[in-house]
Amino acid sequence: MNEYLREIAIKLAREAGELVFARREGQIEVAGTKSSDVDVVTKVDKESEQLLFSRLEELRPDDGFLGEEGREKNSKSGLTWVVDPIDGTVNYLYNLPHYSVSIAVVSGDPRPESWQVEAGVVYNPSTDEMFHAARSSGAFLNDRRLEIAVPPPLHLALLATGFAYSSVMREEQFRILSQLIGQLRDIRRMGTASLDLAAVAAGRVDLYFERTLSPWDHAAGELLVTEAGGSISGIGGLPVGREGILAGHPDLVAEFVEKLSNIGGDRSLAEIPGWEFDSKDVK
C-alpha cells in the first residue's frame, strides 16, 4: 500500500512541479503575506495547492488533506495528505532554483507529534530531482537508493539550517548559531526545509536543524531521512515540530542536542521574549 501511495505522490508532485516551473518563466505575483511581511504567498502557491487538492479528490476521495495555503479536509480513511505546494517560496519568488513540491501521506492524527509518515516525495522541478520514500521500503533520489553520510566528528559536520519569518525569532536563532558555528565545519542556509532534509538523506549535508517550521515543511522530508538510515528528533525533550527538528546520523544528532542544550538553545519558543506565536498565523 505504501508503494502505491508513493507512486501517487510522485505522479502528483511531477504534475504540480511542471506547473510551478512553467509559471516561473513569467512574472510571479505575490498574492499576500501571512505571519509577517516577509512571509509571502504567490498566486502559484495557491494554484499548485488547488491542483494537488483536486487531483487527490479524484484519486483518493476518502483521504484527508492538510495544505500550507489553507485547504484542509478531515480523513475518512485514516490517511491524510500533508502538502507544501511550493516549499522555499522566497527562493521561488527570487527565481533561485532551490524550491520543491513536498507531498507526504500520513496515518493517524495528522500532527507531527502523532502521525506516522507512510510515503513522502520532495520534488525540485528546477533540477528534476525526485526524492521519494515509502515506509520500510527505502529512500531514493530518482532511481538511486539513498544512505546518510558516515558521520564525521561534529567539528567537521556541515549543518543545514534556516530562520523564521519573525525578525525577533531570526535574531534569537542567529544568536544561538553564532555560538555554534565555530564548532562545526560550516553551515548552509538554502531556504527550503524539505530539500534540506532531502540533503541529509542524500549525504549532501551531515545535519539539519531548524525551529518554527510548519507540519508541511518537514512531513515528507522526515521519511526520506529515516528511510536513508538517519534519525529525526525534536529538541529539549519536545516532539518533532514547531519547537524544533533535528536530522542526521543518530550519533551526530545526539551530540548536537547536547551542545544546543548547553548553550540554552533548546528553551521553549514561548520563553523567547517577543516571540508571540499566534496559531491563526500558522502558514
Nearest residue relative to ligand LIP (C-beta): 162
CA distance 143 to 131: 9
Pairing of strands 186-188, 158-161: parallel
131 binds ligand LIP (CB under 6 A): no
Instruction: Name the β-bridge partners of 207.
Output: 159, 248
Question: Minimum Å distance from CB 191 to ligand LIP?
Answer: 6
Indicate the residue among 45 and 118 with the shorter CB distance to ligand LIP: 45
163 binds ligand LIP (CB under 6 A): yes
C-alpha cell at 65: 488533506
Indicate the residue among 208 and 256 with the shorter CB distance to ligand LIP: 208
Q: Among 21, 53, 81, 165, which residue interacts with ligand LIP (rule: CB under 6 A)?
A: 165
**Which stretches does DSSP call E strand in 4-43?**
30-33, 40-42
192 binds ligand LIP (CB under 6 A): yes
The window from 149-157, 159-167, 199-207, 228-236 that contacts ligand LIP (CB under 6 A) reads 159-167
166 binds ligand LIP (CB under 6 A): no
162 binds ligand LIP (CB under 6 A): yes
87 binds ligand LIP (CB under 6 A): yes
Q: Which amino acid is at 213?
A: L
CA distance 31 to 16: 18
221 binds ligand LIP (CB under 6 A): no
Indicate the residue among 2 and 192 with the shorter CB distance to ligand LIP: 192
DSSP 150-180: PPPPGGG-EEEE---SSHHHHHHHHHHHHHH
The window from 71-79, 86-94, 175-183, 197-205 that contacts ligand LIP (CB under 6 A) reads 86-94
Nearest to 16 by CA among 64, 78, 68: 68
208 binds ligand LIP (CB under 6 A): no
255 secondary structure, DSSP code: H
124 binds ligand LIP (CB under 6 A): no
CB atoms within 10 A of CB 97: 13
- Burial class for 168, CB neighbours closer than 10 Å (0-12, 13-18, 19+): middle
89 binds ligand LIP (CB under 6 A): yes
Q: Which residues are at the interface with ligand LIP (CB under 6 A)? A: 68, 84, 87-89, 162-165, 191-193, 210, 213, 217, 283
